[in-house]
Structure 1
């Protein structure tokens, strides 16, 4: 789907309410994922799962997500991404509530697949709708929408920490049901937000289904998204462990991911303004260079303080990259967004395991050079993806 070139104009009627709606959906996605991840040890203990069995549950959720991403790309292309907002959010929320009721490996795997499918469908719908709304508004908004996700994740992690004394199934049921209710309540707003499906007047010289990206560009966007999301997975699973190996206290080690997340929120909060002023290519390259040098320096210095600042630099540096890659994928329609998201999530899902395998062969600091090297690749290659057709 193409858009005619036009001078910047004021946002179309209803665009502000649509932006608030999408921000809420991104935030809910972050809350649910953070609540699920933060109480994972309680889920493991209640079902008496060993590490290998827990890995099977996570693999089931990942498989469901990949299936949801594949289905979502086709559905968004045929019916429009707005159709993938309310229903998948309801599925996502209710499946979280059901996960709190599961006490066996089999039941956890079955519900985790549904949870992953809802996540994948919602991810494609929200990102494709965001691309359309961004084009309708003729201004950069993707970074702020992903900022809403990061804020939701921080809120969810904080909520899980504050309610750690309570049974986890109560938290899962409360958050899950409220999420489903919020999606149902927002259905009239979703149905009335036409520009979530149609960003602007189509170019009469082109067909709506004509791809505007070469396949090699889509794959490059996906590879760079995977490189960035591998860094996110590394921060989530290994940052605290890294500081612990440097003899940091438990409290300081726990601050590592919080510092990374806070830096990412700050970067995404100002990312749209930076992209509008300097262009997404320059911002993505500079940010990735900051990520590589910051975390690299933290690994080389080898102190807890340097490592903490290194993880902050990684979060700040990579904060605008994935939103810019998703926006660029939007030139090829929902299927391109789906392909980039699916490839990107491979980095998030497989990256921490790869780092663990490398750490078992070498050392953890040496293994953490992987996200440093990939951030450097993003810095060197972003222009080829973001400026290509």
Structure 2
């Protein structure tokens, strides 16, 4: 074996550390932005409707970034979408801290979302390539770094409420920009971020068909999973309140969900390697549906807390596995699956709210239960399509 061949066959640990940082930075910035949103709303004197317009701008920008990112990664390589979008991501967070008018906030949020989408495609597509070079599953652990980053960002925002939000945005944004610029030499030297040749999959991990039908099915399953995440973010505390829990207990529901999600992703690669992606995703989705379904049916605070915990644990490996499957169809497939998935995250809470207005909160929350069950039933077809 030549020295070059030996170097290329070695596990690309530097590449993996680089992507771990990229996913973690994405989680930290998004958590800081979301956690201090009420302070931004108050400083800019935004009504609820105006704040919704700002968030819509971010959503539109993110979807556009996912679509454009797929084309750019396909043409120039996904590593080109690591440094630049991260610099923009951090810089725009600094700018958003200084915005006080609705037009400037909408424009800033749109660019913020655009950078998010570009970085999402770049990081996930690079992760597929590095996972191939590793010759074993690592996608779940990379997504775990996003979950840990989000928890860290939320904790930072919660423990620095004495600090003006614009100072926090400036600090986090500046650190993000500097950290991204510091990785330029590492990205340029990385061997596997754009390498699509070094895959050696086991039989049950053979590349699925990249047909449009398969990509849409993967996207639909991702949407179902991310709708569950949106439900946890926006409705878990409301659900606990409907059961007459205290404020702290209601807040604990999402904390338990997040901790279970991070734990599941921490061990997800080992489970997927041992049992296969299809088995783990199907079993996890079944656990999510049964756990939250039981929590809704029993209707007590302890059962509800266990239900949200089961949802986080059960869905933890699903999106990483779906992204891995989509990635073998190329960057545009990753972008399509991510964009479709985020539609579930963005529209799901509103759909649950509409159902709750017609029925009740527990009845409306049957929607993520049903979708988790659908993921369990359809995972085999999506992940093992040829």
The TM-score bracket by the shorter chain reads over 0.9
Q: Paired residue for 2:289?
A: 292
**SS at the partner of 1:326?**
helix
**SS at the partner of 1:139?**
coil
How many angstroms does 1:202 deviate by?
Answer: 8.3
Q: TM-score with structure 2 length normalisation?
A: 0.95
Q: Paired residue for 1:257?
A: 254
Structure 1 residue ranges, 4+ long, deviating more than 2 angstroms after superposition: 9-14, 199-203
Q: Paired residue for 1:174?
A: 171
- Find the partner of 2:303 among 303, 306, 330: 306
On the 8 A contact 2:208/2:383 being kept in 1, the answer is no
The alpha-carbon distance between structure 1 residues 277 and 43, as it changes in their structure 2 partners (threshold 3 A), is same
Superimposed CA distance per residue, residues 142-201 of structure 1 (whole angstroms, 9 cap, x where no aligned partner) = 000000000000000000000012111111110011001100001110111121000434
Q: Paired residue for 1:62?
A: 59
Work out the CA distance in 2 between the residues paired with 1:358 and 1:11: 53
Q: Paired residue for 1:340?
A: 337
Q: Paired residue for 2:34?
A: 37
**Number of corresponding residues:** 375
Work out the CA distance in 2 between the residues paired with 1:283 and 1:179: 34
The alpha-carbon distance between structure 1 residues 177 and 241, as it changes in their structure 2 partners (threshold 3 A), is same
Structure 2 stretches lacking a partner, 5+ long:
1-5, 201-206
Q: Paired residue for 1:353?
A: 350
Q: Paired residue for 1:3?
A: none
Q: Paired residue for 2:21?
A: 24
Q: Paired residue for 2:158?
A: 161
Work out the CA distance in 1 between the residues paired with 2:329 and 2:57: 29
**SS at the partner of 1:213?**
coil
On the 8 A contact 2:43/2:100 being kept in 1, the answer is yes
Superimposed CA distance per residue, residues 344-384 of structure 1 (whole angstroms, 9 cap, x where no aligned partner) = 00000111111111111111111110000000000000000
The alpha-carbon distance between structure 1 residues 276 and 108, as it changes in their structure 2 partners (threshold 3 A), is same
**SS at the partner of 1:332?**
coil
Q: Paired residue for 1:197?
A: 194
> Is 1:88 aligned to 2:85, yes or no?
yes
Q: Paired residue for 1:240?
A: 237
**SS at the partner of 1:195?**
coil
Work out the CA distance in 1 between the residues paired with 2:8 and 2:246: 50
- Aligned CA-pair RMSD: 1.6
> Is 1:278 aligned to 2:275, yes or no?
yes
How many angstroms does 1:11 deviate by?
Answer: 7.7
Superimposed CA distance per residue, residues 284-310 of structure 1 (whole angstroms, 9 cap, x where no aligned partner) = 000000000000011111111111110
Work out the CA distance in 1 between the residues paired with 2:327 and 2:313: 24
Work out the CA distance in 1 between the residues paired with 2:236 and 2:128: 32
Work out the CA distance in 1 between the residues paired with 2:199 and 2:25: 32
How many angstroms does 1:212 deviate by?
Answer: 4.3
Q: Mean alpha-carbon deviation: is it higher for 191-200 or for 142-151?
A: 191-200
Work out the CA distance in 2 between the residues paired with 1:200 and 1:239: 44
On the 8 A contact 2:224/2:372 being kept in 1, the answer is yes
How many angstroms does 1:43 deviate by?
Answer: 1.1
Q: Paired residue for 1:383?
A: 380
Work out the CA distance in 2 between the residues paired with 1:201 and 1:223: 29
On the 8 A contact 1:128/1:334 being kept in 2, the answer is yes
> Is 1:76 aligned to 2:73, yes or no?
yes
Q: Paired residue for 1:126?
A: 123
The alpha-carbon distance between structure 1 residues 344 and 234, as it changes in their structure 2 partners (threshold 3 A), is same
Structure 1 stretches lacking a partner, 5+ long:
1-8, 204-209
On the 8 A contact 2:8/2:191 being kept in 1, the answer is no
Work out the CA distance in 2 between the residues paired with 1:277 and 1:188: 36
The alpha-carbon distance between structure 1 residues 283 and 93, as it changes in their structure 2 partners (threshold 3 A), is same
On the 8 A contact 1:10/1:137 being kept in 2, the answer is no
On the 8 A contact 2:133/2:199 being kept in 1, the answer is no
Work out the CA distance in 2 between the residues paired with 1:132 and 1:172: 33
